[in-house]
Structure formats: structure tokens, C-alpha cells
Structure 1
Amino acid sequence: MFVRLLRRSMDINRYAALIVVAVLLTSLGTAAGQDDDGDARLRLRATPNVAFAPASVLFVGQIRGGPDDNEELYCPTVEWEWDDDTISSQTVDCDPFEPGVTEIQRRFSVRHTFDYAGQYDVRLHLKQGDDVVITSRVRVEIRGNNRRFR
């Protein structure tokens, strides 16, 4: 009798563990940038996100979700707003868009140096003309004794 109860308990625990794993995997898919409705999301990361001035920081933006042939996100102007009174912008010349054929760029990276201590809210904007299509931000903290006055 005890052995049977122990086996049932183990089966229930396995079943519960499978449910927990399924729920975690589902939530990780959403947290990784997939909207429930399949819209594209832009995620921005900074490495390192805490450093000492002067600090060179690598920023990586990644589009998650949405279709690969999203015309709205094809060949955007990439604008980095550094929150240190500077902006970097890049526009490239692209081939004409072809639905079902053309694929969007999903990864954008750049390195920026912060000379002064402070907290910086860095923003990545993907634009078509003057219109911001999608944007994301990340905060970096630069430490040191050389604060800049704003």
C-alpha cells in the first residue's frame, strides 16, 4: 500500500513539474520579446550597464517577434540617443522592398564612450523618415568623480 501511494505521489509530482516547466517556457517566450499578438518588439541591452568613467559601453538592440518581411521595419534610419547631449544616426541605401522576399535587419549594435559619471537613459529609435516606428531604452550608470554639469 505504501509503495503504491509513493508511486502515485511521484506521478503527481512529475505531472506538477511538467506543468511548471510548460508555464515557465510560455512566460519566457513572452519575456524574450514575443507579444501575444505577434507584434515586433525592440529590446535594448548595454554591456556593461555599470562602469567607471571614461567607459566604453556596447549597446545591442534586437527586434523580436513580428514577420521577417515587415515593410515598416525594413531599412530604417537607426538613431541612438545617448542622453549626454549627443545623438548618432545611420541611414543606409537599401534595395526596394519586396513582400515575402525582403527580410528586415533584426540586430543593431554600436559602442559609445561616456566620459563623465552619471546615469544615462540611452534610447534606440528605428525610424522611417521623421516617424519613429519602434523604440527601446536602457539605463547605464557611469561612476566616478568627474560629474558633468547639465
Structure 2
Amino acid sequence: MSVLSVQEVMEIIPNRYPILFIDAVDELEPGKRIVARKNVTINEEVFNGHFPGEPVFPGVFIIDALAQAGSIALLMQEEFKGMNGYLGGLNKVKFRQKVVPGDVLRLEVEITKLRKNAGLAQGYAYVSEKKVCEAEMTFIIGAK
């Protein structure tokens, strides 16, 4: 059972279709850790051009899904409620395998450092038990 539904996610972050990449939050420790999921479906617009005959979910979208998950973890802290989370930087990004329609991305983000309105996080994306992506992320928290 989900901790947050997609409707509740949309109350926290401003992203909307076609750029909302969180379908549910399964685990959440505000300001510390989140596990969310993204169902990759063939009817997503990106598959019209990426790539015809061999649909592949773009790596930049996997990173954005991780960033959205991290933003939720940060914005659920009392002092950041009602604010926006912005991706401020990326380090050590690695893609390990393709993500295709029918896959379910499990997005795990751990906040490793938090100071005032900025944070560092480590994010991992999995399909089943296979790690498909990892990245160090910097977040900036700002007003809406």
C-alpha cells in the first residue's frame, strides 16, 4: 500500500503530465529517505520519437524522476512545506541498462546532507532488483 498517491504527490510538487514521473510513494522518512515508483507505459509521448521500433525511456527522465522523489522527501519536512525543490546539480551519474515500456522504476533517494535551503542526496533507480541508474544530486529549496 502506498504512503502517498499520485494525487497527494501533485499537492507537494508542481510537476504535471507529461513531466510528472512519480506514480506513488511507497516509503517516506521526511528529510531523510524516500522510495517511490514510476510505471513506464507505452502510451507516454516520449516513445513517439525515442526510439521508433525500439522504445527506450530517456535517461534524463530517469534522473528527473529521482529528482522529483528527492524533492518530495525534502518538501515533506515541516520547514519546507509549501515550497519548491529544484535540482541544482548532478555528479557521478551512471546508467546501467535500458528502461522500456512495461518496466516499473523503483526510485530510492537518501538525503545525505541538509543545510538551510540546500541538500545533497544519493539516488538509485531499479527495475526489479537490477540497478539501472545512480546519481549524486544537489537540491535547492525555494519559494513557490
TM-score (norm 1): 0.29
Structure showing greater Rg: 1
TM-score (norm 2): 0.30
